[in-house]
Structures are given as C-alpha cells and as structure tokens.
C-alpha cells in the first residue's frame, strides 16, 4: 500500500487520469453516462493544460515542438464527445512521462551510486591516537588509517600494510588490485582486505573521487539537446499528419474522421524515445568508466570523422624504457648498464628509473660506488672500482672534452645518456617511449567504427613521432607543437567534427577547441579533465573506442526509435483514414506503438561487451 501511495504522489497527473478512468467506468456501468462523460471530459482538459502551457512556452522561446498533435487530438476528442478516446490519450501521455522517469532512474543508477558512496569520515592518526574527523578537514601530509571494507577517503599513498583494492567505482576496472607500501590509492576505492596506514597526498576537494562527482553532477544536470533531433522530424511529420486528417475531413464532410486520423499521430515516440536513448547511452558509458558531461558531446562523438591524439601519455605510456645500449672501448652492455644503475640508484629522475628497472630485470649485480655527485642539469659523476665515471647528457661529455668524433647518431629519434670512463667514451644508452599495449587495437576498433582520418599532434620531434605513428598506422603527424600549435593543428583539419584525445596540462586548451575533447582522467591532469567533454576514468586509451562505439550505437537506436514510430504512425493514419475504425481503437493502438518504441530506445542501456586489450607492451 505504501508503494502505491508513493507512486500516486510522484505521478499526480497519471494518478488523476487513472482515478478518473476508474470512476467514469463505474458510473458508466451503473448507467450514469452523463456523469461519466463529464468526469472524463474534465480529466482530459485538466491533463491537456500542462501540455498547452509547455507548448506556449516553447513557442515564446522561438522553438516549435511536436506536442501540438497531442494537444489537438485531446481537445478535438472533447469537442466531438469522444471522451473515452481523450482519456486514453491522456493516459498515454502521462504514462509515457512516468515511463521516461523510470528510464532516467534506471539509466542513471551507476551515476547515483558514486554520490551514495561518497566518503564522509576519515580515521586520523595523531600522536599514535586515532580519531574520526570529517573528510573535508583532512590535510596533505597527515596520516590516516583505512579499515577493511571502508572507502578510501582521499587520494593517498600507503605507508604500511598490504591489501587488495576495488577501484570499480572509480575506473570501471572490475578486478581488485593488490596494493603495497608506497603504492598510491585513489579516493572512492574500497579497501577489501587488510587495515592500512596511509599518507594524504590530496585534500578531499582535490581528490579523484570528488573530481568524478563534479563531472557526474555536470553530466546529470545538463539538459538533453537531443530533442533537436526529434524536432528535425517534427515539422514534416506534423504537416503530413494534418494534411491526411484535414483531407479526410474535407472529403468525407465528417469531423470525426479528422479525429480518427489525428489520434494515431500523437507523438510520444518523438517526445520520449530520443531522450531515453540518450540518457541510457550516457549511463552505459559511465558504467564502463567513461563520464560524458552532456548529451551534446555524445551526439557530436557519434558524428566524429577525425580523431586527433596527443602522443606522450596518451598513445604511449609516457615512461621511457631502454631501447638499446651501444658500447665502446671494450665494454659490454651489462657492464655499462650495471655502472649506470649503480650511479642512478638514489636518483628520482625518470631516466634513472628506466636504468635501475632494466638492471633489476636482468638481475645485474651493482658495483659499489664512491663520491657520487649530481651535476645539476648535466648528469652524474662517481668512482667505481677506482675508475672515474661520467653519466649524463651530451653537454656533460662536451664540457669534459670526451672524444665523440666518428660516432654517427640520429639523436633526434631517441633520448640518449652518455657514459665516459676515465675520460673515454664507454657507452651510449638509447631510451624510447613505450606504446600503450592497447593502442594498436584502439586504432583498429576506431576504423571498424567508421573513423577514417587520424592525426597525431605532439610536442616531440617528428622523428620520434613517426616511429610511434608507423607502429600504429597513423601517417598524418604534426610534431614540435606548443599548446598554441596544437590548437592550430586541430583547427586545420578539414574533416569535421574532430575529437581530440589528450591527458596533460598542455592539452587543456586544445581539448576545449576540439568539437569533442576526450581526456584520460585516471592519471592525467585535472586541467585536462575539466576542459574535456568526455573523461576516461580508466587508465586505458582503448576506452576511447568504447566511447565512440557506444555513442554510435546510442544514436542509431535513437534515430531508429523515432523513424519506426513515425512510419508506424503514418501507416496507422492511412488505415484509419478509411473510416472503418473508431477513434478509441486508434488511441489504444498508439499506446502499444509508444511502449514498443520506448522500450526499443532502452536498448541503448544494454550491457556493453568488454574488449580486453592485450597486456603485452609494445616497445619501440
């Protein structure tokens, strides 16, 4: 009973129409036909008033909506005494609104779950005492304790303890991840197993979960512009409907024939199917870690002809690896790598990590170092086994007058580190960026989705960019770009609409300029996420292909729903133009059409088949 009362309160117009129908039917059975008709007529007029008001408001704003057909059918039914026909149309419209509301609630379930799980309390550790504080009061550098089953309150890193973390609400990744001391945690993730102690790296307002919530609020609050698509068909459909109905009236001389036709032209498929498909598609994307801020972005993405990519951190991991080592003066590769790793052990430089990781993977035993010094902006010096070593940039070699003649290197293709031992060149380490494991599959999927033109826009040299482009099949490359150059590179593309995919702060301006800006938000910059129309929360560029596929599928279903509804309505209008069927039958048939079309639109929310990218890294 409580559920029924709650339903009646929520959908007042529908409830009013149902009550009027039941009461009128009871009076009709009791042979009080006049009273029954009065109640039905009153209910129809009351139901049509909000529709008329919305229609007038739309006209005042300079737009034309298709609801004039529904209003005409309801008013005509009352004028001609077809009260049962009128109440069925009223039930159709109010019931359609209730169904749309249901669809929105179903489609936004994943988005709402984010808000419901927003962390509110944090366990602050201070002077070995744990106290509960509001998450908003937590500051950077403070120590927190996160218990099993709890939501990580802010972005942080593990100080002590081991656990498994569920990041599905943040990234869309369903598999839990093992986390150990030193690993970073995103706010909003769930601590599955052990109790851990963490150090705060971002305040609540700057943490990943709050950024997602802000994006979700933006997405849910944005009005659906997809009504414009329905309006593209509204004028011709309305004209056709009135032409058929008017012609039948004129030829037959009976006004009831006008009503018989106009009843089956009521436009619920156009009014409801498109918004339902749009909301369902946005929710479908969110379910897979793709936050689409507004319906306009989804619509443009479905029509995109060109996709431009940033290179570093987008198509590549943005982390250098050792490509090769060239040796001189009798040294071998393992010796050079071991010496370099020994010097770089305590360095935080990105190239140092590549060297030490490579040495560790080869299980090279590092020699003992002495007098290691950092030469700011140039490299390192040190002593190993009584030998004086220099490791660093070309300028370090030049400053120390190390002989480099007769060495033919295309340094523009690679990042290089030079090693000299006792004033003689001993080795050169070649570094390259690593293509994301899913990047090749991404391009293939986008081509299958109908994208024919790709452009890589990067700040790297043309040689380095071509090496990546050749591996991925991207020949249109614009290199050596500053942020302003990236904007020009996007604006110069002829095949619009254009989507741009990036992750860094320097990508924020071009993400705004592109027809559709797509940011990799899992590890990218906040500025990029805020500038973009679509944010990929999972650290996988393959989700760009998923977003394109979902958008195209969504708009295919939406257009299909609209056109199917129009075609069925036109066929029914021609059938009812014969005058062999009463208006009430037309109202009942249109109700069936509406339900079919709307449930067809709900297919846009269906489960998306996940495509698992290859886990094998592709080295350049």
Partners of 517 in the beta sheet? 500
CA distance 144 to 302: 44
User: What b-and-e string marks burial along 345-360, b requiring 16 or more CB atoms within 10 Å of the CB?
Assistant: eebeeebbebbbebbe
Question: Which residues carry out catalysis?
Answer: 310
CB 212, CB 291: distance < 8 Å: yes
CB 605, CB 283: distance < 8 Å: yes
Q: Which two tokens stand for residue 285?
A: 């994307």
- Between strands 379-384 and 516-520, the pairing is unpaired
CB 189, CB 165: distance < 8 Å: yes
Q: Which two tokens stand for residue 276?
A: 């339902």
User: What b-and-e string marks burial along 514-553, b requiring 16 or more CB atoms within 10 Å of the CB?
Assistant: bbbbbbbbbebbebbbbbbbbbbbbbbbbbbbbbbbbbbb
Q: Residue with structure tokens 């886990």?
A: 615
CA within 13 Å, CB half, 601: 35
CB atoms within 10 A of CB 465: 24
Question: What stretch of H or E contains 14?
Answer: helix 12-29
CA distance 292 to 217: 11
Determine the distance from the C-alpha atom of residue 396 to the mean position of all C-alpha atoms in its chain, rounded to a whole number.
46
**Radius of gyration over every alpha carbon of the chain, rounded to an integer in angstroms:** 33
CA distance 606 to 112: 18
Residue in 516, 479, 473, 525 with CA at minimum distance from that of residue 498: 516
Residue in 168, 155, 172 with CA at minimum distance from that of residue 210: 155
- Between strands 498-502 and 306-309, the pairing is parallel
């Amino acid at each position: 009973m409580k559920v029924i009362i709650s339903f009646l309160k929520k959908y007042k117009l529908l409830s009013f129409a149902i009550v009027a129908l039941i009461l009128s039917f009871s009076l009709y059975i009791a042979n009080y036909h006049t009273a029954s008709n009065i109640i039905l007529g009153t209910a129809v007029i009351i139901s049509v008033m909000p529709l008329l008001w919305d229609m007038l408001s739309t006209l005042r704003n300079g737009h034309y909506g298709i609801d004039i057909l529904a209003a005409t059918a309801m008013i005509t039914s009352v004028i001609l005494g077809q009260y049962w026909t009128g109440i069925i149309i009223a039930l159709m419209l109010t019931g359609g609104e209730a169904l749309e509301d249901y669809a929105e609630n179903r489609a936004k379930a994943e988005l709402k779950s984010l808000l419901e799980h927003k962390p509110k309390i944090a366990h602050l550790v201070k002077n070995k005492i744990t106290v509960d504080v509001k998450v908003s009061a937590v500051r950077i550098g403070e120590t927190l304790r996160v218990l099993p089953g709890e939501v990580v309150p802010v972005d942080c890193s593990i100080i002590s303890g081991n656990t498994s973390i569920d990041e599905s609400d943040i990234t869309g990744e369903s598999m839990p991840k093992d986390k150990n001391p030193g690993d970073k945690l995103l706010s909003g993730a769930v601590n599955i197993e052990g109790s851990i102690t963490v150090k705060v790296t971002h305040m609540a307002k700057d943490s990943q979960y709050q950024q997602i919530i802000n994006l979700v609020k933006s997405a849910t609050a944005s009005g659906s512009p997809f009504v414009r698509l329905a309006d593209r068909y509204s004028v011709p459909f309305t004209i056709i409907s009135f032409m058929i109905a008017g012609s039948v009236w004129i030829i037959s001389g009976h006004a009831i024939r006008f009503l018989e036709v106009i009843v089956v032209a009521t436009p619920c498929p156009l009014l409801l199917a498109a918004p339902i498909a749009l909301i369902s598609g946005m929710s479908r994307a969110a379910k897979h870690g793709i936050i689409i801020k507004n319906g306009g972005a989804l619509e443009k993405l479905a029509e995109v002809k060109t996709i431009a990519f940033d290179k570093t951190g987008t198509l590549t991991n943005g982390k250098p690896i050792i490509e090769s080592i060239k040796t001189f003066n009798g040294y071998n590769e393992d010796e050079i790598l071991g010496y370099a790793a020994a010097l770089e052990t305590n360095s935080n430089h990105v190239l140092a990590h590549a060297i030490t990781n490579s040495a560790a993977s080869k299980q090279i035993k590092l020699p003992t170092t002495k007098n290691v010094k950092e030469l700011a902006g140039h490299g390192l010096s040190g002593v190993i086994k009584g030998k004086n070593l220099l490791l660093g940039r070309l300028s370090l070699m030049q400053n120390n007058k190390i002989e480099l003649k007769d060495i033919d290197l295309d340094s523009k293709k690679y990042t290089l580190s030079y090693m000299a031992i006792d004033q003689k060149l001993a080795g050169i380490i070649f570094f390259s960026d690593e293509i994301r494991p899913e990047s090749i599959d991404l391009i293939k999927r986008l081509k299958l989705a109908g994208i024919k033109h790709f452009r890589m826009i990067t700040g790297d040299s043309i040689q380095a960019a071509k090496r990546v482009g050749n591996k991925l099949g991207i020949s249109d490359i614009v290199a050596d770009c500053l942020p302003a150059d990236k904007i020009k590179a996007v604006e110069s593309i002829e095949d619009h609409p254009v989507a741009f995919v990036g992750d860094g702060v320097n990508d924020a301006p071009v993400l705004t300029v592109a027809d559709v800006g797509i940011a990799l938000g899992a590890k990218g910059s906040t500025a990029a996420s805020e500038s973009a129309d679509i944010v990929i929360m999972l650290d996988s560029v393959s989700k760009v292909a998923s977003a394109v596929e979902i958008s195209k599928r969504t708009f295919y279903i939406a257009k299909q729903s609209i056109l199917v509804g129009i075609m069925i309505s036109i066929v029914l209008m021609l059938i009812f133009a014969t005058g062999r069927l009463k208006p009430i039958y037309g109202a009942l048939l249109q109700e069936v059409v509406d339900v079919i079309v709307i449930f067809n639109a709900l297919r846009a929310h269906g489960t998306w088949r996940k495509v698992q990218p290859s886990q094998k890294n592709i080295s350049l």
